[in-house]
Chains A and B, each alone.
Chain A
Amino acid sequence: MLAYILRRILYSIPVLIAASFLIFTMVSAFGDPMSELRLNPLVSKQTLEKQAEEKHLNDPIPVRYGYWVKDAVTNKFGTPLFVNEPIWNDLKRVIPHTIALVVCAELLALLFGVAIGIYSAIRQYSPFDYAATTFSFLGFAMPVFWLALMLQIGFTNLFISTHVRIFYTSGLSSVDPGTGPHWLLDRAQHLAIPVMVLAVLNIAVYSRYMRASLLEVVNTDYVRTARAKGLTEQRVTIRHAVRNALTPVVTLSALSFGALIGGAIITESIFQLDGMGNYFIQNLLSQDVYPVMAWLMITAIMIILFNLIADILYGILDPRVRYE
């Protein structure tokens, strides 16, 4: 197993290098990060030239990539183009916000997805099963930005008509959120809608996977044996069937978690959450390549890591799987 893990890590290094070079080239080649600055009548030509010189903007892209690698390795990803603040400080700030959002969304999705999937499988072809299937397809089809905007408008209208604040529609916290339980409640009220938005798609996915997986498992010999031994249906389902049917869902969840660490870009932008996704999009729009690359490296490492975790979990959950 250890050899397998080490091999996976080693394979990841060239992948990271290739991905970083590709993204760097694409972001640097398309557009001029100083374009808005050029339109500012206060900024002189000398200032522009000096900035371009200092940030190596006139050098060929491979040379600029080299400077970036040096900064990334020796200076914790360096600083943005026009601000003398370390990128690492920004990353330390935004990563926890995204983690909080993603963890809550994943937990909610797993809770509901697994429960819906189990009940759908147990009550196959029942009205609940059909309703769950319909909901799943709706969840797959619903654009995230549309759902986000609809929920924003819905809860705003609810507040206007009832003057009762259930959830907030933007931001991470109120102006004076208090401390302790007050802070926690305030944060929960702010994250509730973004968590719902992120969870909807995954609930749909997990419920379908859970249903399919459980239906496969309930017809296996060992489940039939368990029933034959006289165990209750509940015990057979939960202790034997569900446990084995969870394997694909858990590994899927690990993969999904890794991908979401990169930040749910649309959700964070719409709800104004100071997370990885919002950080990425703001810097991409201003063509600031260093923060974009820092985001990329963190996201890529997370995806590789969680892919590895997913494979390891699969091996642990299913003893028939062996890694050499």
Chain B
Amino acid sequence: MHRIGLAALAAMALTAAVFVAGGSAGTSQTPKQGGTVIFGAEQEPPCLNGALDGCNNTWTTWSVGTSLRGLYIENPDFSLVPDMSDGETKVSRTNGKFTLTVKIKKQAVWSDGVPVTVKDFVYTMQSYLDPKNEVAGRSGWDSIQSVKPLSKDGKSFKIIFSKPYAPWKVLFTSSLYPQHALQGTDFNTVWNDNYNNPKNGQPLGTGPFLMTSYTKGQSITMTRNPKWWGPHKAYLDKVVFVFRTNTDTEIQAIRGGEVDVIYPQPQLQLVDLRGQPGLKIESNAGTTLEHFDYNQQLKGGMPLFRAPWFRQAMSYAVNRQAVVDQIYKKFNPKQQVLQNLTYGNSQKGLYQPHFGTYTYSPAKVTQLMQKHGCTKGGDGIWVCQGIKASVKIGTTAGNKLRELIVEITQAQAKNAGIELVPASAPSRIFFPQVSDGNYQIAMFAWVGSGDPAGQIDIYGCGGPANWKGYCSKKVTDLLKASDAELDPQKRIAQVNAADKLMALNVPTLPIVQKPTFLVYKTKIHGIRDNSSVQGPTDNMQDWWVS
């Protein structure tokens, strides 16, 4: 009896354990298969082939671009890590030539089962270099001298560069295009409104989702790729990007459940979404760097800006901390003032706050002005060498955040004896003025990638984007060297050395890394903000709906 009793007890315990185990398999932390997420996209891609200049748009990357993977991918902390590449690429200098030895993951295949190989890399490279193709840029690709396969299956190959190319990882984040499907087609038109294999009309890609439908003006549908090579197949059946270009419409759409996720540019009315039940918000410092450009050129510029001391005085007359506290912290409570022109606050180990000296100080402004023989006029504004310290400050009219910043800094600067005169214009007029050097202070943003490549264009002497006319040989040499420096630590040191020099003579005053603003329903799991250029859709395979 006793034995039977014990056996029965054991059986009951075992049964109970089975029930408990079975019950816990259905908890909210276990990803569920199936479902659709509707993503409200703030812009419709002008066209879908992200390599073309007309289509090179963040929303192209964040939507359809997710179906074409690259060798590397950018993480939320801006680090570049292998994606289709099997481990870190080997960097070497062979016979004085900068060489990369690449290995593609064995399991990396196109959705039709064709393996991703060196042929796809070569085809992509050729597409970028073909002068007939209207691609956004050839930088990096035009430094490749040759590509040599190292294995029969085409998974291993060597890339030999004509000169050292430091931002090669950034180049490797470019989507690879399918040679077996697109060879012989017109790259300018073949994938403008679909990502289908032109030979059989089937959707093609290497991402966790494939672009299966595009209703122009309305939506893009991404459907699970059954042949995705990643650690697991996507949980969701579909992600649908619907175009909602008006911020107020986006807000009502997410409140009313017509969309499940939005990722808008930060605007003040979005702050009201905090506290809305059923929604979660993530905000981080992004790759868009807001700044004040001081034009040193004679044409349209302010003559006093040619003097570093005046640029320093201008920088002391602006309370950037107040701007961040009053405006940007509403989005991201952890937002900080940006104190570097080349790296963001969030790039730990790289970022050095060289511009941290420029805290708001009317006293320092006075000291600098008096030291250089300036006197205050009856209106409280400094006059230096007969020139009144009255500066036009322009930005994109209609952008409420920027216009608010101009208003705030106007009052601050006046208190320090510098007059700021608003001179904003619609972007179609403002940007040509800027690129023409026809401005005094321009407030706008550079969109970075987290890698300092290309800074020489903006800050180097005669750089194509150096519209402010700044020229320092030392800075130019440092930035030039950094674009060819393969040792990451040396490169960081060179870039920061250039930034330190720029902090002394202030061609530009950094303001803030514009925050991102990801809003999603709490029923969506696995989603997280990626404030790098990759965007929050880089891990769609991990999203699931409870």
Task: Please list the residues of chain A having a beta carbon within 8 angstroms of any beta carbon in chain B.
Answer: 30-33, 35-45, 47, 50-51, 80-85, 90, 93-94, 149, 152-153, 155-156, 159-160, 168-173, 175, 269-272, 274, 278-279, 282, 285, 287
- Do B216 and A170 have beta carbons less than 8 Å apart? no
Closest CB of chain A to B66's CB: distance in Å?
18
Query: B46 to A83, Cβ gap below 8 A?
Result: yes
A129 to B446, alpha carbons, bound, how many Å? 60
B428 touches A31 (CB 8 A): yes
Q: Cβ of A36: which chain B residues have Cβ within 8 Å of it?
A: 427, 431
Could you list 12 examples of A-B contacts with CB < 8 Å?
A: A39-B435, A39-B444, A41-B465, A43-B53, A82-B46, A84-B47, A84-B189, A90-B216, A94-B217, A270-B248, A285-B428, A287-B428
Contact indicator B435/A274 (Cβ below 8 Å) = no
Cβ proximity bits B243-259 to A, threshold 8 Å, 1 near / 0 not: 11110110011011110
Q: Given A35-B431, A269-B246, does the pair A274, B216 have CB atoms closer than 8 Å?
A: yes
| CB <8 Å contact, B427 and A270 | no
Contact B258 A169 (CB under 8 A): yes
A32 to B435, CA, bound (A): 10
Q: Is the CB of B248 within 8 A of A51?
A: no
Report how many residues on chain B are interfacial, defined by Cβ distance under 8 Å: 53
Contacting residues of chain B (247-273) with chain A, CB-CB under 8 angstroms = 248-249, 252-253, 255-258
On chain A, the residues within 8 Å of B55 by CB distance are 82-83
Task: Pick the residue among B134, B137, B139, B255 that contacts A160 (CB under 8 A).
Answer: B255
B56, A42: Cβ atoms closer than 8 Å? yes
A251–B327 Cα gap in the complex (Å)?
A: 52
- Interfacial chain B residues near A159, Cβ < 8 Å: 256-257
Residue in chain A with minimal CB distance to B46: A83
Take A81-B54, A84-B188 as given contacts and tell me if A271 and B217 are in contact as well, using a CB distance cutoff of 8 Å.
Answer: no
Q: How far is the CB of A248 from chain B (nearest CB, A)?
A: 36
**Shortest Cβ distance from residue B52 to the other chain A in the assembled complex, whole angstroms:** 8
Report whether A93 and B216 are in contact in the complex, using a CB–CB cutoff of 8 Å. Answer: yes
The CA-CA distance from A36 to B248 in the complex, in Å, is 24
Are A152 and B249 in touch, CB under 8 angstroms? yes
If the complex has contacts A36-B427, A155-B256, are A44 and B248 also in contact, measured as CB distance less than 8 A? Answer: no
Contact A47 B136, CB 8 Å, known A90-B216, A169-B256: yes
Q: Are A84 and B36 in contact (CB under 8 A)?
A: no
Q: Mark B8-33, 1 if CB is under 8 A from A, else 0.
A: 00000000000000000000000000
Q: B193: shortest Cβ distance to chain A, in Å?
A: 7
Given contacts A80-B46, A83-B55, 13 further A-B contacts (CB under 8 A): A32-B435, A38-B435, A40-B137, A43-B53, A50-B134, A81-B54, A82-B47, A82-B134, A84-B47, A84-B188, A93-B216, A175-B36, A175-B38
**Residue B386 lies at the interface, judged by CB distance under 8 Å to chain A:** no
Closest residue on chain A to residue B432 by CB atoms:
A32
Q: Which residues of A contact B457 (CB under 8 A)?
A: 41
Check if A274 sits within 8 Å of B218, measured CB to CB.
yes
Taking each of A36, A44, A272, which has the highest tally of chain B beta carbons within 10 Å of its own beta carbon?
Answer: A272
Pair B56/A274 contact, Cβ less than 8 Å: no
Identify which of residues 199-251 in chain B touch chain A, using a CB-to-CB cut-off of 8 Å: 216-219, 221, 240, 242-246, 248-249
Chain A residues whose C-beta falls within 8 Å of the C-beta of B36 in the assembled complex: 175
CA distance A90 to B454 in the complex (A): 37
A271 and B431 within 8 A (CB):
no
> How many Å from the CB of A28 to the closest CB on chain B?
11
B255 touches A156 (CB 8 A): yes
Which chain B residues border A80 with CB–CB below 8 Å? Answer: 46, 54
Query: B193 — which chain A residues lie within 8 A by C-beta?
Result: 85
Nearest neighbor of B48 in chain A, beta-carbon distance: A83
Residue among A155, A156, A278 making CB contact with B217, cutoff 8 Å:
A278
If the complex has contacts A42-B139, A45-B464, are A35 and B257 also in contact, measured as CB distance less than 8 A?
no
Shortest 7 CB-CB contacts between residues of A and residues of B: A82-B54, A274-B217, A31-B428, A35-B431, A42-B137, A156-B256, A32-B432
Most central of B188, B218, B240, B252 by chain A CB within 10 Å: B252
Which B residues are in CB contact (< 8 Å) with A168?
Answer: 258
- For residue B138, CB closer than 8 A to chain A, the reply is yes
Tell me if B429 counts as interface (CB < 8 A to partner A). yes
B54 touches A169 (CB 8 A): no
- Does B426 sit at the interface, judged by CB under 8 A? yes
Query: B391 at the A/B interface (Cβ < 8 Å)?
Result: no
**A172 with B218: CB separation less than 8 A:** yes
A81 to B444, CA, bound (A): 24
Q: Tell me which residues from 125 to 162 in chain B have a Cβ below 8 Å from any Cβ of chain A.
A: 134-139
Residues of chain B lying within 8 A (CB to CB) of residue A94: 217
Tell me, rounded to whole Å, the shortest Cβ–Cβ distance linking A143 to chain B. Answer: 14
Q: What 0/1 pattern do residues 509 to 526 of B give for CB contact below 8 A with A?
A: 000000000000000000
Cα of A94 to Cα of B216 in the assembled complex, Å = 10
